[in-house]
Amino acid sequence: MKVAVVGATGMVGNVMLQVLAERNFPITELLLVASERSVGKQVSYKDKTYTVIGLQDAVNAKPDIALFSAGGTTSEQWAPKFAEVGCTVVDNSSAWRMDSTKKLVVPEINGNVLTKEDKIIANPNCSTIQLVMALAPLHKKYRMKRVVISTYQSVSGTGVKAVQQLENETKGVKGEMAYHYPINRNAIPHCDVFLENGYTKEEMKLVKEPKKILGDDSFSVTATAVRIPTAGGHSEAVNVQFEKDFDLADVRKLLSETSGVIVQDNLDTNTYPMPIYANNKDEVFVGRIRRDESQSNTLNMWIVADNLRKGAATNTIQIAEYLVENNLV
């Protein structure tokens, strides 16, 4: 299996290499790919040093699978070129997510939609992935009517520059700003750019992507996305109204039996999900599961995951694993 990691020198690219090694993904030849300014850099993988190559050289090498995390513009331009030479691209940017001709995949939920003909596959937004991991089994049993989400997103979701801003501010050092405002000791209700409807792109991803992944647009979603001063891990307060009533014990049982989900919900021991404990883990953690007493058939819960792993790198690699296991590449 000849595998290319595109964006190998970036934050998610580094995590991809870590996850590929941890999961022992079957690689016979590894191509580490980045933009021209990173070509020639040395990167280690499994105690071996690789030289970073450019995008055209990677296309010429005709990899079997290309794992992309190099931004939307790069994906739009280069993913089709990789696909043309028979490579299957799994793309972590937002470029292809809402393209009606491309699949948007969380393997535990809808991996079965993939075929050999899918040469460009979209990885969902990090906040969407952890959300649908918890919602999918509940929707199947109780049928969602309306979902209200408030996110508490780490600076790593913005990138290296934002992580550096937080570190600088924590130390009292002046430096380059990733945000319009200080992030240390602050909460910024502004993730991605604002759209004409007053929502941000991040909020609208949360509105649209779950419907595509679940193959159902019968429920409505509204979201508010907030950036907070944590270095890693996204958290979400989620309120879901269902068509059918539920029993809380059944909800906990259903979630705990869902692959990739861990229920942390014991108030007697103050056990609930937090980003500090989700760090460097692939599971989605769900807690604070309780009935909304203001409205019938409505549930509140708190969902946390490592946004660089299950929210990005791990899900991308799980898609690649699914392709390999089912002989789709």
Residue with tokens 């209700």: 189
Whether residue 290 is annotated as binding a ligand: the answer is no
**Is 37 labelled a binding residue?**
yes
Instruction: Confirm whether residue 97 is marked as ligand binding.
Output: yes
Contact 191, 204 (CB under 8 A): no
The secondary element (H helix, E strand) that includes residue 127 is helix 126-142
- Strand, coil or helix: 9: coil
Q: Is 287 annotated as a binding residue?
A: no
- 227 marked among binding-site residues: yes
Nearest CA among 11, 90, 96 for reference residue 321: 90
- 10 a known binding residue? yes
Q: Binding site annotation covers 157?
A: yes
Tell me the one-letter amino acid at 202: E
Does 218 carry a binding-site annotation?
no
How far is Cα 67 from Cα 218, in angstroms, rounded to an integer?
A: 32
Confirm or deny that 233 is annotated as ligand binding.
no
DSSP labels for 260-278?
TEEE--BGGGTB---HHHH
Which has the closest alpha carbon to 323: 92, 112, 31?
112
CB-based burial label for 153 (10 Å; 0-12, 13-18, 19+): buried
> Is 11 annotated as a binding-site member?
yes
Q: Check the annotation: does 143 bind a ligand.
A: no
Kindly list the catalytic residues: 126, 234
255 and 284 Cβ atoms separated by less than 8 Å = no
Residues within the annotated binding site for substrate? Answer: 153, 227
Residues within the annotated binding site? Answer: 9-12, 37-38, 97, 153, 156-157, 227, 307
Residues within the annotated binding site for phosphate? Answer: 97
